[in-house]
Structure 1
Amino acid sequence: MAALPNDFSLAALESAYGQGIPCPSDFSFPSHVLDQWTSKQPQSPAIIWASPDFKQERIVSYEELSDLSNRAALAFEKHGIKKGDKVLVQLPRVAEWWIIIFGLMRLGAVPAPGTSLLVAKDLKFRAMSCKATAFVGDTEACSRFQDISSEVGVPLVFQVRTQDDGDLGSSRIDFQDAVSKVPKEAKCDHVQHASNDLALLYFTSGTTGDPKMVLLENEYTLGHTITGAWYQLAPGKVFANMADLGWAKAAYSTFGCFNHGATLFVQPPPPGAFHPSSVIDILHRYPITSLCAPPTIYRTLVTSAALEYLASRPIKALDHCCSAGEPLNASVIKEWRDKTGITIKDAWGQTETVIMVGNFAGEKVKEGSMGKCAPHFVVGIIGPNGEELEDGQEGELAVRTDVGGGAKWIFKAIPQATSRRAKLTSGKRNLEARRGTAPETEVCGTRTSTSTLSGGMMMSSPPPATVSVLSRSRVHSRLTQRYSNLPPSVPPTKREARL
């Protein structure tokens, strides 16, 4: 478990993580983070789950989450799953998702979460691409998968029982029943882990071409300590995230939250079309202190009808709001701040990374911008040939992939894109962006089309046309001053960080 700074300011994060986050060679998130927080605060809530109509509620303590994930690991092992096996997971927002993810990680197996939008052909593609050995889902997801399970050679199907389930499907293993057969307080502590073992496997959205696998190691999960600081989380804080569990934003929320010993609020969306009242209701009923939602949700929250409803349902505890995935209108930020006193803080990251640029605490927010570069990442604005640009010039947002966090995650996470990336950047391996269309505006994505700003970050919205960032003088000039001896064709190095 990483040492946490005294506050969430960028200055404090620079001081705490300027040289990277020390990671044990045998690091595994469940044992090194979840279990450590369990020993400190066993009865503190890890997850608060509420049904869409608020008639049912479930609180899972840190102690219970630790115990159930240990028992889940042993249940999976009993049915033949072992270290290195890839397991597809397609579930709605239920507490079992975290029990399953942490259980597989304890076993050294690799969960591959998928969104609720995936149909049989999508599941087939993913199962064949990652050579999956098992599938976990609710009754609907299991039915979809069993249509193609024989084609992909994956007969092992676990069904998670939910409120809306009918009978257990044929040839399926009842997940809750399998876990209940493992004695309480049983431990899955016999598996040897390494910090560079695979922890998670995500598929990009496939906006351009087929979805690509993104391979994430154990050490990656510790890196989301930075993300949790952007969320401004700590023990006693409650965090709500509006993303589908199949997107990498769920990993941002999971590891960002639990690295800081906070509580995750979970609620399945009400049936039918989205309505902003559902968000206002949870902010009114529960002590949620931090909210992360895509711009599309914030836009609905500032409509006249939503603001009228908000006036009748005052917010209970919210003191921090953040957003990512696509640009957020300055007018929306202003309207929300005028009504709540809270400024929505933007950020940018990708499926294979943690937060790389963000509006952190203590920094003045320029409306329409996504902030300053996070500790350990090397971010700059460059021209078409990789040259460093003058202040105020339009260019490309670039992340170096030969040093710091970029080397640790971007370059390693998508091996099939490595050779293409090297060709595109003349062997420098330092570009992860496209050209912009207006001053101080960049289109953020990758030249390899392996991930896009929206595809892995938030929800299933199309990739944005533009993303506003701070001018180069604010993002990048301080790096130039510190490393003025670097060749002009290479974005200056912030530090030789290790994560």
Structure 2
Amino acid sequence: MTIEFNHWPLDRAQRYRDEGYWIDKPLTHILQTRSQSQPHALAIVCGERRFSYAELDQLSSNLATRLAASGLGKGDTALVQLPNIAEFYIVLFALLKAGIAPLNALYSHRKLELKSYAKQIVPRLLIASREHEVFRSDSYIADFKEVGTHPEITLLLGESRHEKNLAEWIETSGRRAANFSPTEPGEVALFQLSGGSTGTPKLIPRTHNDYHYNARASAQVCELTAQTRFLCALPAAHNFLLSSPGALGVLYAGGAVIMAPSPEPLTCFALIQRHEVNTVALVPSAVALWLQAAPEHREQLHSLEFLQVGGACFADSLAHQVPGVLGCKLQQVFGMAEGLINYTRLDDSDEQIFTTQGRPISPGDEIKIVDEQGIPVADGQPGMLATRGPYTFCGYYRSPEQNAQAFDNEGYYYSGDLVQLTPTGDLRVVGRVKDQINRGGEKVASEEIENLIVMHPDVTHAGLVAMPDDRLGEKSCAFVVSRNPNLKPPTLRRHLMELGIAEYKLPDRIRLIETMPLTAVGKIDKKHLRQLLAAETTRTWLQTRVLQLVEDCEDLDPEENLIFYGLDSLQVMKLAAELKERGIVVSFEELADSPTLASWWSLVDTRQKAA
């Protein structure tokens, strides 16, 4: 029994084997090789616990044996949700050994995401932690049944019942032996999650062949060795931290992975000092926090040699600060869970390292940069990135409609990124197609403006989103986090104008906020920003509309009953109809039940978030 997925065309698959990209070995080969060649070398550090390669191999085999004895094996799937702890890797290798394909949910995912994943893969096995809010009680069982699935076996960290205690399954191999083996190298090894910041992530089937090459080639490009001490501070399940080069790349090279609960600077600085960490991977938002905290803690960072930054475009101004403030080399990473990975090389020029996101890891990577009609753009011009290659997938799991939009007839995957090709052959990411703002026909790439705003010394984070406009179609709104409480929007516009950008690129609105909402993997949560903007826009419209309907009133107390201002039931019915035209379904009865502006704001906020 195998898991269905979109295979590579036969001619390309044969070429990838002939050229040595695919070596027809399972991902478990990474651990097997190291446990034989350096069994006592350090593999994982988790708090006070230390695991050698031999121990990691043995514990994962214990669990694989128990799973196989329970009737699980090739063709089965598992839904896994664990925090940044050693058990994450023990479970991963156990499932790979037993031929069970895991979907590793991020620990920040909650009921909505987990139910969606379960509905898609119908897992026979569920592995999670009792400390997570979804699994603190057994109510999760009903949640899974609600979407038509019920895992036959559930294993939980922190579980009191022996038959469901994950730690016990890991420590003992069971009373009876059971045979187990990985799926074939050309079959699905695991599922990754798409990196989009909106909506439930789509599922990406990754095979042993393509993912092994992904990790192997990344480790070689990044020059990892047995002396590598890698800090895993972002979610371990994320593709960046798992295979780019991530933990799999580090283990392939014979190094050690040091677990951190989060990228919080002071916690990480202490781990770096204690374990002599020399390599770390972060997203730009985390780097900004590290740069703020580092000057007072430089003595803790003496061992740090390389900082890899990926997950989002990294502002030039922040990139230039890394060597001086953190005392280490910078390596930019631009990749996607769907495949293509780019790195700046360790011997690249400062210009390349600070201003580009590098170039592909493989000679087998094929790239084209095209306009909206699919025509290749001139060198140096921005365009949509399309790619195919030995580790870039050929289709989302059971998503024919999505695949029809994401791939062309030559098998190129369109990532949604807007990039430029530099004279040195590197890619520079200038935005996302869906982040592009069409302001009266003029296109504005959000990330370009965000990077320019962050160059202001008082700014730590910036996110630019579109807002509807009757005249231009779209305008732009910049959400900005500043370390200076006195910073004003005119100052930022002056800053942008002094940088020499076109006037149409200036944000139409600048909104200063205390903290920037982030996704589970540390990217700016554009969906949340759009919700904030939509809520504010609707609140302003609603207040203006009510003032138009009532007489002899220039201002409203949001807590006062609007009947006292002269608003009648016919006018409330009209407001309900107008809200529906704006895409917000609120009944006349709901408005009439609590006729105050404050309660109406709350009601429409809730409806907009649900939509």
TM-score bin, normalised by smaller chain: 0.7 to 0.9
Residue 35 of structure 1 aligns to a residue whose secondary structure is helix
Q: What corresponds to 1:174 in structure 2? A: 165
- The one-letter code matched in structure 2 to 1:342 is C
Match of 2:339 among 317, 328, 353: 353
Matches within 5 A, 1:73-222: 73-141=64-132, 142-143=135-136, 145-151=140-146, 152-161=149-158, 168=160, 173-182=164-173, 190-191=180-181, 193-204=183-194, 207-222=197-212
Q: What corresponds to 2:265 in structure 1? A: 276
RMSD: 3.3
Supply the distance in 1 between the matched residues of 2:178 and 2:122 (Cα, whole angstroms). Answer: 24
Between 1 and 2, higher relative CO (CA 8 Å, sep ≥ 6) is seen in: 1
Please state how far the C-alpha of 1:21 moved relative to its aligned partner. 3.6
1:372 counterpart = 2:370: no
TM-score by length of 1: 0.74
Please state how far the C-alpha of 1:102 moved relative to its aligned partner. 0.3
Of residues 197-206 and 432-441 in structure 1, the stretch that sits farther from structure 2 once superposed is 432-441
The Cα offsets for residues 325-369 of structure 1, whole Å up to 9 and x where unpaired, read as 1122222222221134423211211112252x2102222242231
Residue 140 of structure 1 aligns to a residue whose secondary structure is coil
Supply the distance in 2 between the matched residues of 1:18 and 1:155 (Cα, whole angstroms). Answer: 38
CA contact (8 A) 2:59 2:171 kept: no
Matches within 5 A, 1:415-454: 415-417=397-399, 421-422=403-404, 427-434=409-416, 436=418, 441-444=429-432
- The one-letter code matched in structure 1 to 2:383 is G
CA contact (8 A) 1:43 1:61 kept: yes
Residue 297 of structure 2 aligns to a residue whose secondary structure is helix
Structure 2 vs 1, CA of residues 431 and 248 (structure 1 numbering), >3 Å: closer, same or farther? closer
CA contact (8 A) 2:35 2:53 kept: yes
Residue 42 of structure 1 aligns to a residue whose secondary structure is coil
Please state how far the C-alpha of 1:118 moved relative to its aligned partner. 1.9
The Cα offsets for residues 213-244 of structure 1, whole Å up to 9 and x where unpaired, read as 11111113311112223443111211113221
Supply the distance in 2 between the matched residues of 1:43 and 1:360 (Cα, whole angstroms). Answer: 31
- The one-letter code matched in structure 2 to 1:40 is S
The Cα offsets for residues 225-272 of structure 1, whole Å up to 9 and x where unpaired, read as 122234431112111132213422332212221221211111223xxx
Structure 2 vs 1, CA of residues 187 and 349 (structure 1 numbering), >3 Å: closer, same or farther? farther
CA contact (8 A) 2:219 2:249 kept: yes
Structure 2 vs 1, CA of residues 342 and 435 (structure 1 numbering), >3 Å: closer, same or farther? closer
- The one-letter code matched in structure 2 to 1:383 is D
1:291 counterpart = 2:289: no
Supply the distance in 1 between the matched residues of 2:399 and 2:252 (Cα, whole angstroms). Answer: 30
Structure 2 vs 1, CA of residues 421 and 443 (structure 1 numbering), >3 Å: closer, same or farther? farther
Please state how far the C-alpha of 1:35 moved relative to its aligned partner. 1.0
Structure 2 vs 1, CA of residues 187 and 379 (structure 1 numbering), >3 Å: closer, same or farther? farther
Q: What corresponds to 1:468 in structure 2? A: none
Supply the distance in 1 between the matched residues of 2:18 and 2:430 (Cα, whole angstroms). Answer: 28
Supply the distance in 2 between the matched residues of 1:246 and 1:424 (Cα, whole angstroms). Answer: 24
CA contact (8 A) 1:285 1:316 kept: no
Please state how far the C-alpha of 1:281 moved relative to its aligned partner. 1.6
Q: What corresponds to 2:444 in structure 1? A: none
Q: What's the % identity of the aligned pairs?
A: 17
Supply the distance in 2 between the matched residues of 1:442 and 1:138 (Cα, whole angstroms). Answer: 39
Please state how far the C-alpha of 1:427 moved relative to its aligned partner. 2.1
CA contact (8 A) 1:248 1:456 kept: no
The Cα offsets for residues 181-228 of structure 1, whole Å up to 9 and x where unpaired, read as 3279x9976436311121111333564444311111111331111222
Structure 2 vs 1, CA of residues 349 and 188 (structure 1 numbering), >3 Å: closer, same or farther? farther
Structure with more of its chain in helix, by fraction: 2
Of residues 324-333 and 455-464 in structure 1, the stretch that sits farther from structure 2 once superposed is 455-464
Please state how far the C-alpha of 1:135 moved relative to its aligned partner. 0.7
Matches within 5 A, 1:312-351: 313-351=299-337
Supply the distance in 2 between the matched residues of 1:456 and 1:261 (Cα, whole angstroms). Answer: 32
Structure 2 vs 1, CA of residues 94 and 441 (structure 1 numbering), >3 Å: closer, same or farther? closer
Supply the distance in 2 between the matched residues of 1:19 and 1:319 (Cα, whole angstroms). Answer: 36
Supply the distance in 2 between the matched residues of 1:92 and 1:374 (Cα, whole angstroms). Answer: 29
Of residues 129-138 and 193-202 in structure 1, the stretch that sits farther from structure 2 once superposed is 193-202
In the alignment, structure 1 segments of 5+ residues that lack a partner are 1-16, 51-56, 162-166, 448-452, 465-499
Supply the distance in 1 between the matched residues of 2:178 and 2:93 (Cα, whole angstroms). Answer: 11
Match of 2:386 among 398, 401, 412: 398
Question: How many residue pairs end up in the alignment?
Answer: 414
Structure 2 vs 1, CA of residues 244 and 340 (structure 1 numbering), >3 Å: closer, same or farther? closer
CA contact (8 A) 1:158 1:173 kept: yes
Q: What corresponds to 2:450 in structure 1? A: none
